[in-house]
Structures are given as structure tokens and as C-alpha cells.
A and B are shown apart, each in its own frame.
Chain A
């Protein structure tokens, strides 16, 4: 286990206004050394703004941020030295080759002069860019540009990686590659990864912070989060028999809250702590119908997220 002894990112009561518009509303969270944390939220939730503050690109309106032990305002340069940043949409100089760009990045980020050449080879190898090293960045496809983006983020071997939507807009194979890369990087580094794709979080992260409309709506380890939210369990059934009658009989079973019928499947919602699968089977057999399939639906992050964010909206 890579449980850290010290917080690598510490955010306290962070608030950011753009003019009058509130983008981040008094959020606090920590990321410990070695953790891979997902920063999850819909577009315009405040993810990018928060990351831009963490990296020192924007100053907060209120609140404090420490990265690698340095305050991002008062000791900005020291803090920035420990950050590798992959900004949203990965902007790069199109008129440079991959090699010259990585050379530029490593110099700017203070990599030791004698290390530059070998380190460029290392990151090119890690990001599978060998064949493109002397190609102009402007001529690369989006997926390869993302890889150059990852390469520049890790070139100075930073303690913290801040990745803003690293898999957006690239093809599925490259998405899988990027996720694999993030997993590997996460073995030795602290990563804060923003995304609006829920499956990405469950695939790559150990912990998730869910943010909506500038506020943190949930924060927990992935496995806890789904049990925390899913008070009720759902079961999907496929039954051969008269649909009206089957639904009616199912509703009468103790512990079943609701039965709906869609796409020739019954979705059964059970009250918390109940598992009426045995009874369902019995009922169907008694009715003389045939049970074709039965499966329980785990509440996905998608559902959790919907639930959390809509609850947040209604409570306002």
C-alpha cells in the first residue's frame, strides 16, 4: 500500500470568482502522497478552475492551496517545480518537433542539463513516441499530441501530476493506452485526475472527489462510495408471460418497492437490505411462467453521480 504520511495537495476553503460568477465555492480537500484521486464532475463544475489554481495559473479569490508543502501563492515557483501539469485540451507549440518541445519543457522545468537527453529518451519510450520524435507537433494526430502532453508533464519527474481530462477526444485504443499509462504512473506518483467519464475513475483511481457547481458533493474511496449511496438494490428480470400480470404479482412480494417494465425487461427496485431474489423465482414458477434471466444491477458511478448531483440541485 502506498498510503502517504503527508498531504501532497492541501486545499482549504478555496473560492474563485470570475468577476461576479462563482466558479469554485469554498472547497477543501487533501490528496496524500502516492494516491491517485479522481476529480469528477460535469462540464463547468469547477474542475478546470480548481486545477488551474492548484498549478498556479490562476490565483484564488479566497482560500489556500499547498502543493508538495509549498503555498501556491507565496512560494509559487517552488510549488510549481513539483507539479507536472496536463491542461485541458493539451495546448502545444505546433511549430516545434516533439524533441525540441520536450527539450524546451525540460529546460523550463529545471531538469539538470546532463539529464535532458536521456530523460527525453525515457519519456518518449514511456509514452510510445519513438517514431514521432522528429515530427512537428502540428502534424501529429490528437492522440499523439495527448501523449506529448503526458510526456511534458512527467519529464521533470514531478512529485504531483495534475491531469485535466487527459482522455478527452481521442480514440478508444489510445484512451485505453492513456489509462494504462496513468495507472503505471500512479504507482510511484501522486495523481489528481479530472474527468467527466465515470468509468475512467473506477478504472484508474483509488479515491474520488465529486464536484458540481463549484462544490464538493461527495468524497470517498471508490468501493465505499457505491455502498454508501446505494441504499436500495435493483434487479433486472426477463420473464416469459403476460407482462401486466407478472408485474402485478411481483409488486406483491415483500421488500419490493417498485416494478417497471422496459425493453421487455422488468426492473425491480428493492428496499434496503432486502434480497427477494428467491421469492421472485418462486412467484414466477407458481404463476406458470418462465424465468429467462435474473441479474442484480450494481449501482454504477453513473447512477451515484446522477443521484448526488440532482439531490444537490433539489436541495438548493
Chain B
């Protein structure tokens, strides 16, 4: 645990020291802010649905970009060698990197708190869907970061890592759209494994345990794959 914290803190500080994190955060805030204001303006509703809708899709891109360097850069620069020869478990390395990026994502989500605060200032928002919406974003974001971290463990090229992560996340997100074209039984299965299928419930203010379990499973699965991929690199 101590090692995990040490690595997570280093990663988090490294984000704060890199211009990329600020650019990504800036883009995220501008785009989500734009959609938030449009939806509030158009529908005269005190909800953050506009933000959640665009935010969920943006999260996929953002997670790919935030995680691409986590292991790929270390592999390319050679710093992975010192990390993996320290008395630290591979699982601690992965957990630390994941928590570091999750910290960054959380910070970005916290920065968007001013959307609901604005609603409170001007009206009387329903806090239920806002809270579950944020929970959904957090879970979806965590799962996406795990996918991205796994992609980053596969290569020493950050761009490749980002594209692979984007590819996996895109496939998992849009699988739901394909499900409608398939026979019902198969479609249901595809729907269940789709990242997008579970999200609307959170937007509507519902906490579906299936959704929570689904996002957590994706997170754990890809973190596990990342650990295996790291272990594998020792045996190459």
C-alpha cells in the first residue's frame, strides 16, 4: 500500500507539472461548459444532463490521453527499468499508476462542480440525478483509465497506446448501437458489455447495482490485464 501511494503521488504530481494535463482539462471544461450552457438555455431545466451527455463521451478520449504515457513513456525512456527493479510488486506499480490518473480525473470532475453550483444559484436543482450522474462519470472514468493503462502497458509508443485505448473504449461504447441490429438474446449480451448502456440510468438519477458492478468489473479486468502484461515483459 505504501509503495502504491508513493507511485500514485508521483504520477499525480507529474500530471500537475505537465502542460498536457492542463490542455486536456481546459478542453474538457470548455466543451462540457458549452454543452451545459446550451442545454440549460434551450430546455430551461435545472439539470446537468447536457454536461453529463457530452462529458461521458469526452471521458473516453480524455482517459486515453491521460493514461497513454503512464507506462509507454517509462518504457521508452527506460525509467521502467528502475521502477521494476525496486522492491515493489508489479500490482503495486499498476495500482499506483491507476490511482494517480484517477486522482487527476477526480480533480477535473471537481472543477466541473460549478455547473451544479450555478444551477443552485439560479434555481432549485434536483440533487439526486446530479449525484448519481457524477457517480456514473467517476465509475465510467475509472473503467476508461484502466483500459488506457492496459493499452499503455503494451507498447513504448504513446500514440499507439492512445489509439489502442481509444479503439477498445470506442468499441465498448458503440457496441450498444450494434446491439439493436442483432437477434434479441445476443443483443442483450452485447448491450450488457457496452460502456454506454449503463450510463443513462446514472443520468436519470438511478443507482443500478448492475451498472456499478459492470464498471468495476471492467476496471478490475483491465488492471489485471495490465499487471499480466507488465509481468510478461520480464519474460520476453
Contacts and interface: CB of A to CB of B under 8 A. Distances in A.
B23 interface: no
B37 to A, nearest CB: 35
Nearest to B93: A108
A108 B3 contact: yes
B85 A55 contact: yes
Interface stretch (B6-14, B50-58, B158-166, B221-229): B6-14
A100 B14 CA distance: 11
B177 to A, nearest CB: 40
A119 interface: no
A59 B235 contact: yes
Interface string A224-260: 0000000000000000000000000000000000000
A83 B234 CA distance: 18
B8 to A, nearest CB: 12
Contact of B6 (A78, A81, A91, A107): A107
Nearest to A19: B236
B85 A81 contact: no
A202 to B, nearest CB: 28
B84 interface: yes
A104 B82 CA distance: 12
A108 B85 contact: no
A69 interface: no
A109 B83 CA distance: 10
A18 B236 contact: yes
Contact of B10 (A85, A104, A110): A104
A101 to B, nearest CB: 9
A58 interface: yes
B183 interface: no
B87 A80 contact: yes
A91 B18 contact: no
B6 A77 contact: no
B2 interface: yes
B88 interface: yes
A285 B73 CA distance: 71
A286 to B, nearest CB: 65
Interface in B1-34: 2-3, 6-7, 10, 13-14, 17-18
Given A87-B81, A93-B14, 8 more contacts: A56-B85, A57-B234, A77-B88, A78-B87, A89-B78, A91-B77, A100-B13, A107-B3
Interface of B: 2-3, 6-7, 10, 13-14, 17-18, 77-79, 81-89, 234-236
22 contacts: A52-B81, A56-B234, A57-B84, A57-B85, A58-B236, A77-B88, A80-B87, A83-B85, A85-B82, A87-B78, A87-B81, A91-B79, A91-B81, A93-B79, A100-B13, A104-B6, A107-B3, A107-B6, A108-B83, A109-B86, A109-B87, A110-B87
